[in-house]
């Protein structure tokens, strides 16, 4: 679905953001990309729909090269991006109009548009806000509207570029649940860029970016087993993994590859409670 | 002298049909040098409350006094405001000058300090926030990464030597190393400058590491306040309110439900590991 081939990218001031990155993301995958501030992960996100073009190498979206001007509109239709700051993504004064903004630009006929907007708002649980003013909504609600705006364009790939970074824990959980459902039920390919390690738990695959290159690529289980390497590049492990490491080091319990509170508590009951 | 808030009520668009009371009869004291963590979910009134601390908003009723200066009084407000440094969630909105140096020196210059003292403070503030002077002083704030912008915004505030430092989500959007660094930095200059800190954060794990006092806001009222031990031992209650208590506190509570006997007030992984040590090797004392 997304194919990144030997991509390097330098900004105008000469700083190298990506260094010969190659990766393949399959249709229907739920991928999480993690890296510290300035690692190049946001640059990579902007490559996926041609917002940025490689300095060398190529990015192929469903067979189309992002460097091909004629394919740009098709690529933008296929790949939707939601960014970090919800305020920068709201363009109108009524939620319904905001969600309709993208498809309108694509020339979707009115009848179909109404259906698409209603469906998109339902998918993010915001149907009752269709006539509300976006600026009255919370950050989490604004992000849901931004996602609905993307969904109304019926994309096959949804990129979340730190879309939960400014939200409270409830807002973050809502967004995660919504994109997980979109991935499972509608088969939308999701690429989630985040700095919250616990958000990677439950995705299919984690890609760790460091200094513009891919440092690790694997399942969350496999990658979170490499806690020391993650910390060495400014990252971390989820709190459940941190405790698991501590319990193992102190020879209190071996909790295997538990990554969540539920997994850890079940494992501890099995290994430490004798009834 | 502390910040004293008594029966503070604040109503948006007071008197109109859209009137909305965001704060109800808040009583709160922030003592000299204290580190206060302010938590509550979106819409609980946190942002409204902190904007009262430097007089950006004034009470509809009740009193906010900063070191005795009544923030409802225009003349006294200017004096009170000078003691309170405020860093907002989006540093982009706070940076405006051509270079990092000019941006950080803006506040101290406004305080009518002489050029030598301004320069000394800018250099000190940059050192405290970990921005290398030679590398960053002449850079445009717009060339900076998110974390560097936040450090610059922080430096601009601490260069004014505030007696009270008020921070709205200072770690939001930073990577784990950045979060640790900013938290340590805040604690460092609290110790070095002796200022009090009021920090709004969704991350109770971060608040658990540094705060002396935790205040929980809910629907514009103080729901509860106390030491981190007191507050986080009520992990289940906080979780049901839509907040995210420290991971160790939630796990400890879940383990107790499932039959473990653990002491109250656990909210760090290290303390939980200590408590679980008694169960080592499956010799549970049940």
pLDDT tens-digit readout, B43-55: 788 989 999 998 8
Whether the pLDDT of residue B286 is over 70: the answer is no
Whether the pLDDT of residue B89 is over 80: the answer is no
Answer whether B248 sits within 8 Å of A36, measured CB to CB: no
At residue B44, the pLDDT reads: 86
Lowest mean pLDDT among A48-57, A180-189, B11-20, B274-283: B274-283
B36 compared with A87, residue with greater pLDDT:
B36
Which residues of chain A from 76 to 115 reach within 8 Å of chain B, CB to CB?
A: 84-85
- CATH fold group of domain B31-58+65-244: Rossmann fold (3.40.50)
Over residues B210-267, the pLDDT tens digits come to 899 999 999 999 999 999 989 998 988 998 888 888 999 999 999 999 999 999 889 9
- A260 in contact with chain B, both atoms CB, cutoff 8 A: no
- A235 in contact with chain B, both atoms CB, cutoff 8 A: yes
Over residues A208-265, the pLDDT tens digits come to 999 999 999 999 999 999 999 999 998 999 999 999 999 999 999 999 999 999 999 9
Q: Which of B151, B176, B203, B258 to mutate to test the interface with A (most CBs of A within 10 A)?
A: B176
DSSP letter for each residue of B60-79: SEEEEEETTEETTSHHHHHH
Answer whether A269 sits within 8 Å of B259, measured CB to CB: yes
Answer whether B41 sits within 8 Å of A168, measured CB to CB: yes
Q: Measured between beta carbons, which residues in chain A are less than 8 angstroms from residue B40?
A: none
**How many Cα atoms sit within 13 Å of B257 on the Cβ side?**
11
Alpha helices in A193-235 (DSSP H): 220-224, 227-232
- A15 in contact with chain B, both atoms CB, cutoff 8 A: no
Q: Where are the domains of chain B?
A: 31-58+65-244, 246-286
Q: Which of A89, A86, A93, A102 is nearest to A131 (CA)?
A: A93
Strand order in the sheet with A205-210: A79-82, A157-161, A189-194, A30-34, A205-210, A213-218
Q: Measured between beta carbons, which residues in chain A are less than 8 angstroms from residue B89?
A: 166
For the question of an ipTM over 0.90, the answer is no
- A168 in contact with chain B, both atoms CB, cutoff 8 A: yes
Q: Measured between beta carbons, which residues in chain A are less than 8 angstroms from residue B176?
A: 36, 195, 197, 234-236
- Cα(A74)–Cα(B166) distance, integer angstroms: 47
Give ∠ CA B66-B71-B77 in degrees, rounded to 5: 90
Is the distance from CB of A32 to CB of A207 less than 8 angstroms? yes
Among partner residues B243, B273, B283, which is closest to A243 by beta-carbon distance? B273
Is the distance from CB of B83 to CB of B163 less than 8 angstroms? yes
Lowest mean pLDDT among A22-31, B7-16, B87-96, B160-169: B87-96
- A261 in contact with chain B, both atoms CB, cutoff 8 A: yes
- Cα(A68)–Cα(A225) distance, integer angstroms: 41
* A107 Rama sector, left if φ>0, alpha if ψ -120 to 50, beta otherwise: left
At residue A125, the pLDDT reads: 87
Answer whether B172 sits within 8 Å of A165, measured CB to CB: yes
Alpha helices in chain A (DSSP H): 41-47, 72-78, 95-105, 110-123, 139-151, 169-186, 220-224, 227-232, 239-249, 261-272
> What's chain B's average pLDDT?
89
Q: Where are the domains of chain A?
A: 2-237
- Cα(B253)–Cα(A31) distance, integer angstroms: 32
Whether the pLDDT of residue B278 is over 50: the answer is yes
At residue B285, the pLDDT reads: 46
Q: Does the predicted TM-score (pTM) go above 0.90?
A: no
Backbone angles phi, psi at B12, to 5 degrees: -75, 140
Give ∠ CA A202-B181-A260 in degrees, rounded to 5: 20
At residue A275, the pLDDT reads: 56
Tokens at B157, concatenated: 């505030």
Q: What contacts A265, CB < 8 A, 6 or more positions away?
A: B251, B254, B255, B258
Whether the pLDDT of residue A207 is over 90: the answer is yes
A2-237 — its CATH code? 3.40.50.300
């Amino acid at each position: 679905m997304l194919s990144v081939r030997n991509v390097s990218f330098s900004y105008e001031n000469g700083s190298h953001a990506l260094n010969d990155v190659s990766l393949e993301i399959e249709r229907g995958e739920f991928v999480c990309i993690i890296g510290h501030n300035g690692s190049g992960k946001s640059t990579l996100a902007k490559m996926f729909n041609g917002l940025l073009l490689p300095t060398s190498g190529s990015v192929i979206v469903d067979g189309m090269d992002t460097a091909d001007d004629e394919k740009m509109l098709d690529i933008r239709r296929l790949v939707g991006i939601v960014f970090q700051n919800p305020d920068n993504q709201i363009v109108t004064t009524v939620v319904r109009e905001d969600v309709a903004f993208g498809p309108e630009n694509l020339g979707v006929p009115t009848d179909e548009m109404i259906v698409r907007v209603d469906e998109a708002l339902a998918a993010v649980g915001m149907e009752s806000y269709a006539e509300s003013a976006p600026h009255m909504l919370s950050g989490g609600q604004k992000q849901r509207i931004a996602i609905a705006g993307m969904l109304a364009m019926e994309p096959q790939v949804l990129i979340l570029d730190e879309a939960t970074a400014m939200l409270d824990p409830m807002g973050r959980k809502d967004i995660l649940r919504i994109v997980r459902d979109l991935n499972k039920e509608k088969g939308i390919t999701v690429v989630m860029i985040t700095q919250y390690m616990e958000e990677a738990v439950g995705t299919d695959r984690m890609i760790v970016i460091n200094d513009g290159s891919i440092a690790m690529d694997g399942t969350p289980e496999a990658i979170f087993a490499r806690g020391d390497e993650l910390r060495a590049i400014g990252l971390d492990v989820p709190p459940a993994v941190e405790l698991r490491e501590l319990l193992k080091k102190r020879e209190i319990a071996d909790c295997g590859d538990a990554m969540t509170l539920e997994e850890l508590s079940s494992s501890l009951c099995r290994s430490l409670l004798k009834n | 002298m502390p910040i004293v808030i008594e029966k503070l009520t604040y109503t948006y668009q007071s008197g109109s049909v859209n009137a909305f009371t965001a704060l109800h009869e808040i009583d709160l004291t922030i003592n000299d040098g204290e580190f206060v963590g302010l938590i509550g979910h979106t819409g609980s009134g946190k942002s409204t409350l902190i904007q009262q601390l430097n007089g950006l908003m004034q009470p509809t009723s009740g009193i906010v006094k900063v070191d005795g200066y009544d923030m409802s009084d225009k003349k006294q407000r200017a004096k009170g405001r000078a003691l309170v440094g405020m860093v907002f969630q989006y540093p982009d909105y706070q940076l405006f000058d051509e270079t990092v140096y000019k941006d950080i020196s803006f506040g101290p210059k406004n305080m009518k300090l002489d050029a030598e003292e301004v320069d000394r403070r800018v250099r000190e503030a940059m050192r405290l926030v970990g921005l290398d002077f030679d590398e960053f002083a002449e850079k445009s704030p717009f060339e900076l990464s998110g974390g560097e912008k936040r450090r610059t915004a922080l430096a601009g505030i601490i260069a004014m030597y505030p007696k009270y430092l008020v921070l709205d989500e200072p770690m939001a959007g930073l990577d784990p190393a950045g979060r640790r660094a900013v938290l340590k930095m805040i604690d460092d200059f609290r110790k070095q400058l002796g200022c009090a800190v009021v920090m709004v954060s969704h991350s109770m794990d971060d608040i658990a590491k540094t705060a002396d006092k935790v205040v929980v806001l809910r629907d514009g009222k103080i729901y509860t306040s106390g030491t981190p031990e007191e507050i986080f031992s009520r992990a289940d209650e906080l979780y049901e309110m839509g907040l995210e208590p420290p991971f160790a506190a939630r796990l400890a509570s879940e383990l107790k439900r499932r039959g473990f006997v653990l002491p109250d007030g656990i909210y760090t992984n290290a303390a939980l590991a200590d408590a679980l040590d008694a169960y080592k090797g499956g010799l549970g004392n049940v």
